[in-house]
Amino acid sequence: MADEVDMDAVMEDLNRRMDGAISSLKQEFASLRTGRASANMLDPVTVEAYGSPTPINQVGTINVPEPRMLVVNVWDKSLVGAVDKAIRNSGLGVNPVVDGTLLRIPIPELNEERRRELAKVAGQYAEKARVAIRNVRRDGMDQIKKAKSDGMSEDEQKLYQDEIQSLTDGEVAKVDAALSSKEEEIMQV
């Protein structure tokens, strides 16, 4: 009976970890631009500030004054150059205009080639999420093998393996659906 309670806790942990991979994917997708300005676009950008990589939202305020413009108000004047460099090197395809401690970032219209590049990046993010989910599945299968050596019956082992596989399949389907939705959003003109 102790094995069943233990495996239920294991299943709950696996489910939580797989959901974490999905939420991480959604955060990465939010940073991909789709032709409209969004403060989330700058979430993956880190600035070399005070000797360590710092998220851009911790060195300045990010605003969206109009649909095709982002404005970053850097709090420390000495970091303006570092923020400018970090945004230019981020791969977002934007070029900030420095105005004192303000960085105005015009968001250019996406051309077909750039849309395809962004769709590829979205695919890479989705693949990372799938790999994370498969790693969680592998951990679960390893725990089942350990439980078998501790006295779990073969029937229980098979039941839990099937349960883990169906959980994995469901989470991978969520990743595929999110990717499909994001690709459609990116390719929309």
The three-state DSSP-derived secondary structure of 46-66 is EEEECCEEEEHHHCEEEEEEE
Tell me which amino acid residue 173 is: A
Tell me phi and psi for residue 111, to 5 degrees. -90, 170
Tell me what pLDDT residue 163 has: 93
Kindly tell me the burial class for residue 24, based on how many C-beta atoms sit within 10 Å of its own C-beta (0-12, 13-18, 19 or more): middle
Angle, vertex CA 67, rays to CA 109 and CA 84, nearest 5: 75
Domain final residue, candidates 106, 124, 149: 106
Distant-in-sequence, close-in-space partners of 122: CB < 8 Å, separation ≥ 6:
29, 32, 179, 182, 183, 186
CATH code of residue 21? 1.10.132.20
Cα 26 to Cα 128: distance, rounded to the nearest angstrom: 12
Give me the sheet containing 97-99, strands edge to edge: 60-66, 69-74, 102-106, 97-99
**In terms of domains, do 119 and 93 share one?**
no
Residues 65 and 19 in one domain: no
Q: Tens digits of per-residue pLDDT, 60-101? A: 999 999 888 999 999 999 999 999 999 888 877 788 999 998
Please give the mean pLDDT across all residues of the chain: 87
Domain boundary among 54, 88, 106: 106
Domain boundary among 106, 122, 142: 106
Q: Which two tokens stand for residue 95?
A: 């070029």
Residue 10, pLDDT above cutoff 80? yes
Q: Are 81 and 102 members of one domain? A: yes
| 48 plus 97 within the same structural domain | yes
How many whole angstroms separate alpha carbon 110 and alpha carbon 132? 30
Total of domains in the chain: 2
Please state whether the predicted TM-score (pTM) of the whole model is above 0.75: no
Note down the domain range covering 92.
39-106
Asked if residue 43 and residue 9 are part of one domain, the reply reads: no
Check pLDDT > 90 for residue 176. yes
Does 1 have pLDDT greater than 70? no
Judgement on whether residues 55 and 101 belong to the same structural domain of the protein:
yes
Same domain for 86 and 179: no
CATH code, domain with 51: 3.30.1360.40
Q: What is the pLDDT of residues 113-144, one digit of tens each?
A: 878 888 888 999 999 999 999 999 999 999 98
Question: Using the 8-state DSSP alphabet, how is residue 75 labeled?
Answer: S
- Report the C-alpha gap between 67 and 121 in whole angstroms: 23
